[in-house]
């Protein structure tokens, strides 16, 4: 586990707690140090503060996921702005834990996010083919009718979830919960924007809007 946190007392506390829970822990107090350490140790999970003295947490998150798209990054922050929280999750963080937090809840969230990621268990397969789509679950690659397309992590997870449940419709709250990890309606159109991007990249109307419900994947 890599901890990226600039507040010394909290970094010390988190280190003690995580080592006590059985994790091998590495610590960084700046964004640059966190990026460097992540490249050296290749952690299984990262706890990342957003308010760092040199780089923004968002910049660190982007760099980490560019290098390792499947890296599990949990953001710890006192940021209360819902839009910023949603953007962090949309950028690929697997969870957002608000400060102050209960240690027991943080450990539970880490355990839950360490087991699986959304979209990793599609039929338990390495490669899934349906509706003219081919999803490589290990490398997060997608082909549409033999044409490879580039998706963000959140776009991939959304497409994988829709594929897993096709042709059934997935509700908006289900998608926000399973793909973004949001147990609440953020009051933004983050889901609709992601669907629009997916439709544009696939160049075919495979994602159908189900009025007053959500979305579903259909054959074309």
pLDDT digits (tens, 9 = 90+) for 180-189: 777 666 666 8
Domain of 37 in residue numbering reads as 2-115
Domain boundary among 115, 138, 168: 115
**Cβ distance 71 to 64 under 8 Å?**
yes
Provide the pLDDT for residue 138.
67
Q: What percent of the chain has pLDDT over 90?
A: 36
Domains of the chain: total: 2
**Do 197 and 178 belong together in one domain?**
yes
Structure tokens at 145: 């009718």
Last residue of a domain, one of 99, 115, 131: 115
pLDDT over 80 at 52, yes or no: yes
Q: Which of 115, 148, 163 is the last residue of a domain?
A: 115
Q: What are phi and psi of 45, to 5 degrees?
A: -150, 145
**Residues 93, 148 within the same domain:** no
Q: Quick one: pLDDT at residue 91?
A: 83
Which among 198, 199, 121, 117 is positioned nearest to 164, based on CA atoms? 121
- Of the two residues 17 and 154, the one the predictor is more confident about is 17
């Amino acid at each position: 586990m890599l901890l990226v946190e600039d507040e010394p007392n909290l970094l010390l506390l988190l280190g003690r707690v995580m080592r006590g829970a059985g994790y091998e822990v590495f610590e960084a107090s700046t964004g640059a140090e966190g990026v460097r350490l992540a490249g050296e140790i290749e952690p299984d999970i990262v706890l990342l503060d957003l308010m760092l003295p040199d780089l923004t947490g968002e910049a660190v998150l982007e760099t980490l996921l560019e290098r390792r798209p499947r890296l599990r990054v949990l953001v710890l922050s006192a940021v209360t702005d819902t839009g910023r929280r949603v953007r962090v999750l949309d950028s690929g963080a697997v969870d957002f834990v608000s400060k102050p937090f209960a240690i027991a809840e943080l450990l539970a969230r880490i355990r839950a996010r360490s087991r699986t990621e959304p979209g990793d268990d599609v039929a338990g397969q390495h490669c899934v083919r349906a509706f003219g789509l081919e999803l490589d679950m290990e490398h997060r690659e997608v082909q549409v009718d033999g044409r490879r397309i580039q998706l963000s992590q959140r776009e991939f997870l959304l497409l994988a979830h829709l594929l897993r449940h096709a042709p059934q419709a997935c509700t908006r709250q289900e998608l926000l919960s399973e793909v973004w990890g949001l147990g609440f309606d953020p009051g933004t159109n983050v889901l609709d924007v992601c669907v629009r991007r997916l439709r544009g990249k696939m160049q075919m109307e495979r994602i159908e809007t189900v009025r007053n419900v959500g979305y579903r994947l259909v054959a074309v």
